[in-house]
């Protein structure tokens, strides 16, 4: 065999041996995320589906920041004070980049007793503080003593839609007084008229006793205008029946919250802001329902995921009144 051929063959064998002896470089394995997707969360209110089924709005938070890209992966319920129930995810987190909300504050005479310190003023102004430059709010009040603004049934418009926080806070100050009776259904119609395809946020401390419109008419008007109605009910004596307001919020895609103390209002307005900005949906289905009227407390354990974050279990308390 010619020497050149032998040399070429030997070189080929040598190179092959070298390649076999050289380890293949390892492909780096990305480190598992260590930052949790969420550290806490808020239950923003309740939506009644039927006597055994209730939905709550849930916003995942990282410390105080909303996790807008959070994914609700699973949920369980525990520590129920009455009955038995299962929990499920009924909607992923939906983000609203620009909030449009008509805030209508109850200025009826009963607020003298139910909110003597005018804590609703600070609560509504704290809501305004969280608004971004893209958000818009209008400020109204309702009672039977104050003349309604032109084109409205029961509400005085103190500030039309604006992002100017100075103007909005000044309007809230003007809107927090007391006098007259409660025409909350008319107030809802007014707010929905002002905020078509937007949101109405209503605070009231009483059942309707003066409206020209019925609860069903308020639903019809809000749905016609494409307005979601959210209501905070202040029941300082635990004697009020807010069922009609629960029906209005449920029918329009909003949420209802009930508190027995004006001291809770700032937290409630804060959670309403979370609901408007970004929230998902958790459904509670009773398999053994407590008696109608029972206030049920419990804890939702929600597993939250997010891109480049590790899944986290968030425990949040809730309260709802069964029908």
pLDDT tens per residue across span 195-216: 999 999 999 999 999 999 999 9
CA gap 304, 64 in Å, rounded: 15
Going by pLDDT thresholds of 50, 70 and 90, the confidence category of residue 19 is low
Q: Average pLDDT for residues 241-245, to the nearest whole number?
A: 97
Q: What share of the chain is helix, strand, coil (3-state, %, to 5)?
A: 30, 35, 35
In this predicted structure, what is the pLDDT of residue 6? 43
Is residue 167 within 8 Å of residue 203, measured between CB atoms? Answer: no
Q: How confident is the model at residue 175 (pLDDT cuts 50, 70, 90)?
A: very high
- Mean per-residue pLDDT, 276-285: 98
Mean of the per-residue pLDDT values for the chain?
Answer: 93
Where would I find the H helices in 195-264? Answer: 215-225, 243-252
CB of 45 closer than 8 Å to CB of 230? yes
> pLDDT value at position 31?
77
- Overall average pLDDT of the 43-55 stretch: 98
Confidence at residue 5, expressed as pLDDT on a 0 to 100 scale: 46
- State yes or no: pLDDT of 270 exceeds 70: yes
Residue 286: pLDDT band (50, 70, 90) is very high
The whole-number pLDDT of residue 10 equals 46
Confidence class for position 82, pLDDT limits 50, 70, 90: very high
Task: Report CA Rg, the chain.
Answer: 28
**pLDDT confidence tier of residue 33, bands split at 50, 70 and 90:** confident
DSSP 308: T
Residue 4 has pLDDT above 50, yes or no: no
Look at residue 28 in the predicted model and tell me its pLDDT: 72
pLDDT at 84: 98
Residue 203 bridge partners (DSSP): 105, 232
pLDDT value at residue 155? 98
* Res 22: pLDDT: 54
Residue position matching structure tokens 């909300």: 101
Band of pLDDT at residue 23, cut at 50, 70 and 90: low
Evaluate if residue 94 carries a pLDDT over 90. Answer: yes
Q: How confident is the model at residue 32 (pLDDT cuts 50, 70, 90)?
A: confident
CA 7 to mean position of chain CA atoms: 79
The answer, yes or no, to whether residue 305 has pLDDT greater than 90, is yes
Q: Can you give the pLDDT at residue 24?
A: 62
State yes or no: pLDDT of 97 exceeds 70.
Answer: yes
* Percent of the chain whose pLDDT exceeds 70: 91
Rounded Cα–Cα distance for residues 114 and 47 (Å): 25
Exposure string (b/e) for 71-104, b if CB count within 10 Å is 16 or more? Answer: bbeebebeebebbebebebbeebeeeeebbbbbb
Domains and CATH numbers, the chain: 100-279 (3.40.50.410)
Express each pLDDT in 108-157 by its tens digit.
999 999 999 999 999 999 999 999 999 999 999 999 999 999 999 999 99
């Amino acid at each position: 065999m010619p020497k050149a051929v032998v040399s070429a063959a030997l070189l080929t064998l040598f190179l092959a041996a070298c390649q076999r002896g050289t380890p293949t470089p390892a492909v780096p394995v990305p480190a598992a995320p260590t930052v949790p997707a969420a550290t806490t969360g808020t239950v923003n209110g309740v939506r009644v589906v039927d006597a055994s089924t209730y939905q709550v709005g849930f916003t995942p938070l990282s410390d105080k920041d909303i996790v807008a890209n959070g994914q609700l992966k699973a949920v369980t319920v525990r520590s129920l004070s009455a009955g038995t129930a299962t929990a499920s995810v009924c909607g992923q987190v939906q983000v609203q980049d620009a909030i449009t909300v008509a805030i209508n504050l109850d200025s009826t005479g009963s607020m003298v007793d139910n909110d003597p310190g005018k804590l609703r003023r600070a609560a509504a102004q704290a809501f305004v503080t969280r608004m971004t430059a893209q958000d818009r709010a209008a400020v109204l009040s309702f009672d039977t003593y104050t003349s309604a603004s032109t084109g409205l049934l029961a509400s005085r418009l103190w500030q039309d839609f604006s992002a100017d926080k100075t103007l909005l806070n000044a309007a809230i100050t003007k809107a927090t007084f007391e006098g007259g009776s409660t025409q909350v259904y008319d107030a809802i119609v007014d707010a929905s008229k002002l905020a078509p395809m937007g949101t109405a946020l209503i605070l009231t401390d009483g059942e309707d006793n003066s409206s020209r419109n019925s609860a069903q008419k308020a639903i019809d008007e809000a749905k016609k205008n494409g307005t979601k109605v959210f209501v905070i009910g202040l029941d300082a004596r635990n004697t009020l029946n807010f069922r009609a307001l629960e029906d209005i919020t449920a029918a329009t895609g909003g949420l209802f919250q009930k508190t027995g103390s004006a001291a809770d209002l700032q937290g409630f307005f804060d959670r309403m802001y979370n609901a408007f900005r970004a929230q998902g949906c958790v459904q509670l289905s009773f398999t053994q329902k407590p008696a109608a009227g029972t206030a049920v407390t419990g804890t939702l354990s929600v597993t939250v995921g997010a891109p480049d974050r590790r899944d986290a279990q968030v425990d949040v308390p809730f309260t709802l009144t069964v029908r």
